[in-house]
Amino acid sequence: MVFFRDVLGQDSAKRQLIHDIRSGKLAHALLLAGVPGCGKLPLALAAARYLLCSRPHEEDACGECPSCVMMNRLAHPDLHFAFPIVKRKSGKDSVCDDYLPQWREMLLRQPYIDMNTWMNRMDAGNQQPQIYVRESDEIQRKLSLKASMGGYKVMLIWLPEKMNVECSNKLLKLLEEPPRHTVFLLVSEEPSLLLPTILSRTQRVSLRPLEEEEIAGYLKRRYMLPDVDAHDIAHRAGGSLLKAEENIQLGEEQRNYFDWFVTLMRKAYGRDVRALKAWSEQVASIGRERQKAFLEYCQRMIRESFIYNFHQPQMSYLNAEEGQFSTRFAPFINERNVFSIAALLEEAQIHVEQNVNPKMVFFDLALRTIVELKQ
């Protein structure tokens, strides 16, 4: 499983973490923050391995001690996880340990993940994952126990912004005064959504988007891509290894988003209200997390289509199929409507987050898009 050497880029953050661990100056609660796909979770896993390793080298864990062997399976007794989950159909209160086998299997296969990857692995359906209040009791129970291997205890919380307020409040004292040799690693994509009281108790490690050269080199090594293709995909990835891998072959989820976006724009331009009503009902059925991700995708496509009009290839981040569509669509996105369409999509995203009836949200969006495309 992940060593520091396996984490793409982020050399400055790696050096700082290793220095702080070796010098005994590591904060007891770290907040690793950055865009999706920049390597936050792999870096947290590498830091956890280094902390738990009984014979660490100067630049990485040894890979041979009993702790490292257990980390190869993510089965170290002093490494604990918390992550967003959904309630099981039985209605019984769920905790993260209920999903631990799926979590480990997913990370052992690929530590660069996002919420959509985890939702599919969980079979979340239309539910909105969160970290429930019962998890705070589980975290306190686990960290109250003596370290099995006599060293550090590590609590890795992925997407702590998904903790409900009650759960966050119950962890405040533990974050401020954790048991001795306990380290919290919080891995966040939207730290602004965390309670200020949580933020004030953590030391932030901000991770930059990956460089194009770093992503291109990875693609050439992993997929044996020609130099030109690797750099083209890396350019369109926007600093995210996840997006780069999606761009190699349009995944099923991205394919759906693209098809739904094309349908919305074509039917809105054609003023086909009947088809737009059917479209809104289809998108309303996919669950809130996927709806938010789709609306983010739509906003990106609107921005990229507007930029496409400037005929500057270095400014374009569209894949081949999206680019082909934009050759015909871009002329309809101009300075008269680009900001208002983007505002419509952002408003719809806010309404989805506020649990407004999704059929109303998406049908309203479709009807208002008709007007904007005629600008």
| HEC string for 148-178 | CCCCCEEEEEECHHHECHHHHHHHHHHHHCC
Write the pLDDT tens digit of every residue in 283-295.
998 888 889 889 9
Both structure tokens of 366? 């479709």
Domain boundaries, the chain: 4-206, 209-249, 252-373
Give the full edge-to-edge strand order of the sheet including 153-158: 79-82, 153-158, 182-188, 29-33, 203-206
Q: Which residues of 96-119 are buried (b: 16+ CB within 10 A; e: fewer)?
A: beebeeebeebbeeebbbbbbbbb
153-158 and 203-206 strand pairing: unpaired
* pLDDT score of 116: 84
Residues with Cβ within 8 Å of 229's Cβ and at least 6 positions away in sequence, in order, are 219
Whole-number Å distance between alpha carbons of 375 and 170: 51
Mean pLDDT of 266-291: 91
Looking at the DSSP assignment, which residues form a beta bridge with residue 155?
Answer: 80, 184
Write the pLDDT tens digit of every residue in 7-45.
999 999 999 999 999 998 999 999 999 999 999 999 999
pLDDT at 319 over 80: no
Burial class (CB in 10 A: 0-12, 13-18, 19+), 320: exposed
Provide CATH code, domain 4-206: 3.40.50.300
Whole-number Å distance between alpha carbons of 303 and 345: 12
Q: What is the pTM of this model?
A: 0.76
Looking at the DSSP assignment, which residues form a beta bridge with residue 139?
Answer: none
Closest CA to 296 of 145, 114, 29, 150: 114
pLDDT at 190 over 80: yes
